[in-house]
């Protein structure tokens, strides 16, 4: 018999896949772990999380009662105990097609809809489907960090185009044209915007579609924040422009219903001219699903009720709180030395704030700023480097308004304390 000493001396032949390693600050979770480990545990004040768009942590952002009831009922039903079909159960796919078609010129069919484990998996799937040794994809900077990491892991070369802060974070279409070549497969947009809190206009989205058509590429639109808009621009789904160029949209109930933990979303193909089909994209999506996991049957079973029966007053109540928070964040940051918000947030749950490092005495860059802020004020804000823009911050305002006020106050005293003396 071997004893434990010989066991520990053994040279084992296995180890984790080094390809899975990413720099901590290049994912939101990695950056948060770093910031949380820097908190001062003896600070008696509550930690203010202005870093993740997860309002479900606050009682004022509870989900709709009908949504919770639909889940409970689906769990009790024997109908949803088995494996669902890989692409999703038909009533759920039909419900999503109907929910989205309300805002589209042509009606979607359930066959256009694939049920996924949130918007996150929908993005992962389409990036894998498009991956290939020579292909490249155009991604906005600043970005939502999962997009570039998944694209790289899917063997797609990532090329970044800029979003323009002085133009309300519109896509720099000239840089899109300059970056594209014959191996470009798609451009990726996020609307309403994370991390910028912008909402693209109808005219701008039309230009995006026309540019993609000229380049012969498809547009992937992450619309996980669909309908979370509170400024002058209405939410226009990208599918509206599917007759110009093929479109794939990603969505979920995570943000609008404040239930990111339920893990249900969708990948939708808008392909009226059959271009995606002709080029094997639909087949590849189905092949991916044959290998992958999918949302639990009972959550899919509840989805038709959730989408059809949630009343407008739930949405308007939550939107009112988010809007109030967005305004108080924007106004509050105006008097913080060293920080500027180039545009008033119009949608989603966060906004980009520019850091003027020269104002501060002893702060090196955005990451240093966020680490010191966590330690000294127990306020967690995501450094811009995590979303591709150094010396910016991504501030999440969708938290309880009282916490937000406190957070902005602490942020201000931090910035005043670290400013160079006049």
Ligand X SMILES: *Cc1c(COP(=O)(O)O)cnc(C)c1O
Number of residues that bind ligand X (CB under 6 A): 14
User: Which two three-digit tokens encode residue 121?
Assistant: 């998996």
Residues 206-245 that bind ligand X (CB under 6 A): 222, 224
**One residue of 55, 119, 140, 239 binding ligand X per CB under 6 A:** 119
- How far lies 191's CA from each of 42, 61, 179, 380, 420, in Å? 40, 22, 21, 25, 38
**One residue of 191, 198, 249, 252 binding ligand X per CB under 6 A:** 252
**One residue of 118, 237, 296, 304 binding ligand X per CB under 6 A:** 118
At what angle are helices 118-130 and 281-291 packed, to 10 degrees? 120
Count of other CB atoms within 10 angstroms of residue 211: 20
Query: Applying CB under 6 A, does 151 fall inside the site for ligand X?
Result: no
**One residue of 99, 143, 144, 414 binding ligand X per CB under 6 A:** 144
**How far from chain centre, in Å, is Cα 395?**
14
Confirm if 346 and 197 have CB atoms less than 8 A apart: yes
Of residues 28 and 415, the one with the C-beta less far from ligand X: 28
**One residue of 88, 110, 226, 265 binding ligand X per CB under 6 A:** 265
Q: What are phi and psi of 326, to 5 degrees?
A: -60, -45
**One residue of 184, 211, 245, 254 binding ligand X per CB under 6 A:** 254
How does DSSP classify residue 347?
B
Q: How far is the CB of 299 from ligand X (least distance, A)?
A: 12
In the numeric block, the tokens 């909402």 are attached to 199
**One residue of 124, 136, 168, 194 binding ligand X per CB under 6 A:** 194
Confirm if 328 and 403 have CB atoms less than 8 A apart: no
Between strands 48-50 and 339-340, the pairing is unpaired
Of residues 159 and 394, the one with the C-beta less far from ligand X: 394
Query: Applying CB under 6 A, does 88 fall inside the site for ligand X?
Result: no
Q: How far is the CB of 401 from ligand X (least distance, A)?
A: 21
Q: How far is the CB of 260 from ligand X (least distance, A)?
A: 4
Confirm if 275 and 73 have CB atoms less than 8 A apart: no
Give CA–CA dist 289/87, Å, rounded.
6
CB-nearest residue to ligand X? 118
Of residues 110 and 226, the one with the C-beta less far from ligand X: 226
Among 241, 248, 238, CA closest to 281 = 248
The residues near 211 (Cβ < 8 Å, ≥ 6 apart) are: 173, 176, 177, 187
Q: Which stretch binds ligand X (CB under 6 A): 70-78, 250-258, 302-310, 400-408?
A: 250-258
**One residue of 142, 145, 260, 345 binding ligand X per CB under 6 A:** 260
Torsion of the alpha carbons at 363, 364, 370 and 375, rounded to the nearest 10: -60
Of residues 165 and 192, the one with the C-beta less far from ligand X: 192
Residues 96-115 that bind ligand X (CB under 6 A): none
Residues that bind ligand X (CB under 6 A): 53, 118-120, 144, 190, 194, 222, 224, 252, 254-255, 260, 265
């Amino acid at each position: 018999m071997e004893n434990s000493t010989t066991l520990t001396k053994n040279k084992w032949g296995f180890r984790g896949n080094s390809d899975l390693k990413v720099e901590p600050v290049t994912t939101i979770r990695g950056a948060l772990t770093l910031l949380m480990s820097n908190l001062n545990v003896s600070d008696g004040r509550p930690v203010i999380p202005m870093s993740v768009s997860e309002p479900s942590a606050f009682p004022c952002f509870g989900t709709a009662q009908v949504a919770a009831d639909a889940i409970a009922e689906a769990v009790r039903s024997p109908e949803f105990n088995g494996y669902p079909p890989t692409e999703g159960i038909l009533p759920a796919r039909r419900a999503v097609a109907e929910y989205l078609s309300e805002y589209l010129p042509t009606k979607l069919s359930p066959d256009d809809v694939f049920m996924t484990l949130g918007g996150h998996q929908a993005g992962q799937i389409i990036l894998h489907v498009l991956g290939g040794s020579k292909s490249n994809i155009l991604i906005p900077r600043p970005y939502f960090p999962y997009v570039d990491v998944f694209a790289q892991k899917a063997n797609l070369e990532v090329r970044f185009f800029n979003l323009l802060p002085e133009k309300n974070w519109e896509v720099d279409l000239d840089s899109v044209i300059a970056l594209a070549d014959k191996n470009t497969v798609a451009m990726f947009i996020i609307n309403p915007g994370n991390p910028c809190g912008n909402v693209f206009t109808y005219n701008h989205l039309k230009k995006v579609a026309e540019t993609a058509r000229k380049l012969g590429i498809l547009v992937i639109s992450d619309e996980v924040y669909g309908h979370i808009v509170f400024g002058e621009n209405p939410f226009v789904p990208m599918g509206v422009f599917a007759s110009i160029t093929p479109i794939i949209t990603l969505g979920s109930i995570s943000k609008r219903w404040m239930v990111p933990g339920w893990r249900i979303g969708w990948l939708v193909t808008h392909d009226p001219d059959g271009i995606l089909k002709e080029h094997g994209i639909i087949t590849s999506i189905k092949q991916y699903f044959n290998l992958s996991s999918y949302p639990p049957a009972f959550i899919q079973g509840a989805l038709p009720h959730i989408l059809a029966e949630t009343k407008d007053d739930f949405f308007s109540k939550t939107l009112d709180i988010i809007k109030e928070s967005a305004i108080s964040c924007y106004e509050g940051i105006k008097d913080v030395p060293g920080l500027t918000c180039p545009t008033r947030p119009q949608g989603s749950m966060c906004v980009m704030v520019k850091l003027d490092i020269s104002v501060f005495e002893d702060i090196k860059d955005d990451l240093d700023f966020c680490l010191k802020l966590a330690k000294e004020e127990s306020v967690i804000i995501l450094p811009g480097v995590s979303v591709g823009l150094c010396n910016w911050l991504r501030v999440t305002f969708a938290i309880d308004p009282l916490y937000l006020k406190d957070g902005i106050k602490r942020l201000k005293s931090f910035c005043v304390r670290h400013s160079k003396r006049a």
